[in-house]
Structure 1
């Protein structure tokens, strides 16, 4: 395990459809959703927790039991992120209750969809507590690139059907460790010798774990051989800082890829500041025909500041790039730069 420090929306078919489809044969457990003041947090001290020892250092990798009647976890269900978080919690609570035949069919459908459309994110999420679904495999590298301005505990959880436990990685960062970090590690062999879908949840809390840390921002997240190369998608540019619709100004974007990805899409997310973490809302997307080629930047492209319904999307926006190969992994990268759209 290495700890490294470095200075689609598809309208109605999204994360909800993916996870709800898995659970059609199982009773849905309730997930607590509300403000961070009344959210329950997982307490690992109540469980039998075994450490996964794979060259482990102080990053706090653990396995959390989550089967029938056993313990499970509740991540902060914070407003915009509540729906996605609740769905992942439901999957974790019920993943062993559906029949094997139905589970296999659902997983095959999900895997095919991920191969065609890439990793799935909710159309609205909170950057300090968000969920996704992506392909994983035992031995595949997993990479996270993120930054924060204050001390934080970052927790990554992955759950795949057939695994009896939730794979959990907790990393505390103290007052002298603020800034940008890149974490890279190999998934354990329990994730299997072929691709499978997994629920992925990332939370960032203050060191005590009682409140989300609003300064946390994700820069890149990926899994698989093509996700690497520093991080496979980087140098994500989104400029200028301000465009005016009346002047018919456009934002320009580009990025560099270290890997070949047959599928890629640019997504424009409206950003709202909040005390418990920045919120992102899907606005529009622009598929990148033919995908991207290793060792090249895409030619600069433009966005007119409008949403998928051709309405002007006023406010601050951030660019998100999703890129994937059907059997070689995926990566999602966010721009550091933001574009304000005004009338």
Structure 2
């Protein structure tokens, strides 16, 4: 990933690679190329499979389909504080429609922020847990009528006065909310697909979302004569940050895989507007047909401040087979 002068960069190894997914991937599929199964690298020594996402998880489930579960199974062990400080917030290796889980630091009274687009006539909640403890669910959106918007809510005081590793599970179910409390106690309903463009926790994560205005394009650069432009803004200084290029591939009639193909870390990542370019090549120097999007993650490592955030570009870059 090439950078403009004055912005330092270096290649990030396999450690610490994670994915934020926008769960509404319909436009991507029209352009995705069939290719052998991919996946993204896990932290070194972590093992585990590639990301492979059945399409029926990403789009409308028929009425009476699988019921919403705010905490889908994850084969990985939960990251500890040291891992979160080193690699940043961890996002799921598999996703179900309407459900998105992040492992990151949390603290009682912290603000939580999400840039989200729920479906109309849906009910969207935030479920929280740390260790073996669970906390009251928070209603994020009652009916989905607002379309894409930024939501900010405080975390429950019961979480405690110090940052600790925990799990944020955002989930959306069919039909509007009937109550502002007890989301995890409502009658189970089928998932409602939801698009998440940005998410964060902690004082430094909010404003809008700490990383915003992601731009990635044009949609079809003439590689190698052209490059894809990268742009985004950060509203705070962060101790660590990374720019990541994600590839989406249709690997079977009912599956999409997501692979991290390149990353540029910044230690620190300063407040302001950032720009750069991408030559279309993956880590092996090849230009592989597919649909690509830009992701940016930021996090802090200080003892008393462990805010984190991440965002994904609404626009995508397409590489077609020559």
TM-score in terms of structure 1 length:
0.64
Counterpart of 2:206 (choices 228, 231, 244) is: 228
Contact 1:123 1:282 survives alignment (8 Å): no
Gaps of 5+ in 2: 1-16, 19-39, 49-55, 177-187
Q: Is 2:317 the partner of 1:339?
A: yes
Query: Aligned residue for 1:151?
Result: 121
1:263–1:39 Cα change, 3 Å: farther
Contact 1:133 1:197 survives alignment (8 Å): yes
Tell me how far 1:159 sits from its aligned partner: 0.8
Gaps of 5+ in 1: 1-7, 19-33, 43-73, 77-84, 92-105
Counterparts of 2:283 and 2:172 in 1: how far apart (Å)?
A: 31
1:126–1:266 Cα change, 3 Å: farther
Counterpart of 2:150 (choices 164, 182, 199) is: 182
Tell me how far 1:239 sits from its aligned partner: 1.2
- Aligned-residue Cα RMSD (Å) equals 3.4
Counterpart of 2:215 (choices 212, 217, 237) is: 237
Larger relative contact order, structure 1 or 2 (CA cutoff 8 Å, min sep 6): 2
Counterpart of 1:137 (choices 107, 116, 126) is: 107
Query: Aligned residue for 1:11?
Result: 41
Aligned length: 256
Q: Which structure: greater helix fraction?
A: 1
Counterpart of 1:213 (choices 192, 200, 205) is: 192
Q: Cα deviation per residue 1:28-83 (whole Å; 9 max; x = unaligned)?
A: xxxxxx966786536xxxxxxxxxxxxxxxxxxxxxxxxxxxxxxx348xxxxxxx
Counterpart of 2:74 (choices 81, 84, 87) is: 87
Query: Aligned residue for 2:137?
Result: 168
Counterparts of 1:332 and 1:198 in 2: how far apart (Å)?
A: 16
Counterpart of 2:166 (choices 198, 219, 222) is: 198
Correspondences of 1:1-343 after superposition (within 5 Å): 8-9=17-18, 11-13=41-43, 41=67, 74-75=69-70, 85-87=72-74, 110-125=80-95, 128-148=98-118, 150-163=120-133, 165-174=134-143, 177-207=145-175, 210-214=189-193, 216-245=194-223, 247-271=224-248, 281-294=258-271, 296-298=272-274, 300-326=275-301, 327-343=305-321
TM-score in terms of structure 2 length:
0.68
